[in-house]
Amino acid sequence: MHPNGYAQQKTIVTISIQQDPEPVDPMIYGQMLENVNDSVIYGGVTDGNGNVLPHITRLLKELDIPVMRWPGGTVIHEYRWRDGIGPRKLRPVVPTYAWKGKENYQFGTDEFLQWCKEINTQPYINFNMANHPLYGGTLWEALDWIEYVNGNPDTTNGGRLRAAYGHKEPYKVQYWGIGNENYGPWGRHKEETAAGYGDRLAVWAGTIHSKYPELHLLGVGHTAAWDSTVLEKSGQAIDYLTQHYYVVSKLKDGQLQNPDNTLFAPAKMEAHLRLLSNLLGRYNKSKAGDPVRLCIDEWNNRHSVLENGEYKFTRQSPRRQFDVAVAAGMLNVFIRQSPVVGMANYIFPVNGHGLIRTIGTNDALKTPLFYLFKQYRQWMTGSKLEVTVKGPGITGAAAAATIDGDCKEIKTGNEQLTYIDAAAVRSSEKGIYISLVNRSWNTGREVAVTVPKGYKVTQTWEIADQNINAFNSVTDRDVLIPKIRTVNNRKGSYSTKLLPCAVMIVKLVRM
């Protein structure tokens, strides 16, 4: 290592422009709302009475969020949509079993859909498909919900009811999820087998599509074996399988422990997505119509903080520099695995791991993830390009990634994982954007990017800090903010240096 803290060996990143590059769906930059008792909706997006907070709405508009999932999540297993429509003073207040809080139904279907329109995002609504005899939803309730949301106000009962409540025009919601983690005993739901869920999904999705063929339906995915069975049972009637991935980070005294476990977690997720991509590739050859794709509709980096000798999960831990590296690594995976990955939903946009943290009722701060999502949404869209990375790294076994969710079936070994992670896209304007992530926690890395012929580097965007545990706070909100630099590089290679856990996006334009 050099005395300045940078590794001696450079990493070489090479970009190849294919003849017909595959598209990157901007829906991978989606978000999710769920009332998890951590001020995500009430005290986050809205006040405690469900009234939308204008200063939060203004910030969310900046992000140009393409899709928003709601109302859950585990809480969907007990959510009754009819309790969230009509006169607000008549709506019940009920305890939530899943998260030990309460739901007052003040931010119900109409409030959510009007808010989506205000921030210019597409809604994605999740049905209650739980199997609890009292709390579980039914297919007829799901059909009624669709009719209430999308029904003609002159010819359907649901549409007439919506109009009577002051919303005549149909909302035209296209995305509907059928179930949530039905493989597990979460909330008001008992564990199901893949065959049992697949049979039920076939009935639900088949019935819905027979009446509403224009809708996009999402079924629950999990392991490769689960997905294979669900596809066999109901694949012809769905458009997506949903997958969930949660990186797990341990913090002691504000410091990330065993950093490699966290920083290389996206690589384990990518191995699982490749496995599922191969499965879908085989299945889609025989599917009539559009292919089934993947939606990673729950993902983030969960912090467990050491308290009284025990690591405890919390949503209150601030988003730090290492979280920027992890989130960028996950987004890079979604780009590389496009178009099989056609949607993703980070949890959550406000508070609870969020991109924004509320301060009282009239103020909020931007976490570094706010800037990351905003820049990826602006620059990292278009068509994906092939990227080759050659440089020092670590084996999968040595990294020992800690990530919960669907990829636990992946076993790591001697596969080499470079410290520098990279993804690249070509925009509709023919510009090229290259995302570089330094997965080293204690070593700066020098990177040489081979610039494609006919292009030059003009700008870089970067979030970096000497301290990988740094974060924005009420008293210092600008610790982690982007630095934009103008570059005039006409050479065939562009060299740069990345601090540990730094994220940089390099902009190239035609000469």
In this predicted structure, what is the pLDDT of residue 491?
79
- CA-CA distance, 414 to 439, in Å (whole number)? 18
Asked if residues 199 and 179 have their Cβ atoms less than 8 Å apart, the reply is no
Inform me whether the pLDDT recorded for 290 exceeds 60: yes
Q: What tokens were used for 441? A: 């926690």
Read off the amino acid at residue 480: L
Inform me whether the pLDDT recorded for 1 exceeds 60: no
Inform me whether the pLDDT recorded for 324 exceeds 90: yes
Asked if residues 11 and 418 have their Cβ atoms less than 8 Å apart, the reply is yes
Is residue 418 classed as helix, strand or coil in its secondary structure? strand
Read off the amino acid at residue 310: E
Biggest CA-to-CA distance, the chain = 75
| pTM, to two decimals | 0.97
Q: How many degrees, rounded to 5, is the angle at CA 230 between CA 225 and CA 24? A: 90
Give 64: exposed, middle or buried? Use CB within 10 Å, 0-12, 13-18, 19+: middle
Structural domains of the chain, ranges and CATH numbers in brackets? 15-385 (3.20.20.80)
In this predicted structure, what is the pLDDT of residue 358?
97
Which of 451, 468, 436 has its CA nearest to residue 331?
Answer: 436
Read off the amino acid at residue 70: W
User: 147 pLDDT band (50/70/90 cuts)?
Assistant: very high
Inform me whether the pLDDT recorded for 2 exceeds 50: no
In this predicted structure, what is the pLDDT of residue 420?
98
- CA-CA distance, 84 to 239, in Å (whole number)? 28
If one counts every other C-beta atom within 10 angstroms of the C-beta of residue 207, the result is 15
The pLDDT tens digits of the residues spanning 233-268 come to: 999 999 999 999 999 999 999 999 999 999 999 999
Mean per-residue pLDDT, 53-64: 98
Handedness of CA 204, 206, 212, 218 (dihedral sign): positive
Q: How far is CA 218 from CA 195, 215, 281, in A?
A: 17, 10, 18
User: 430 pLDDT band (50/70/90 cuts)?
Assistant: confident
* Averaged confidence pLDDT in the chain: 96
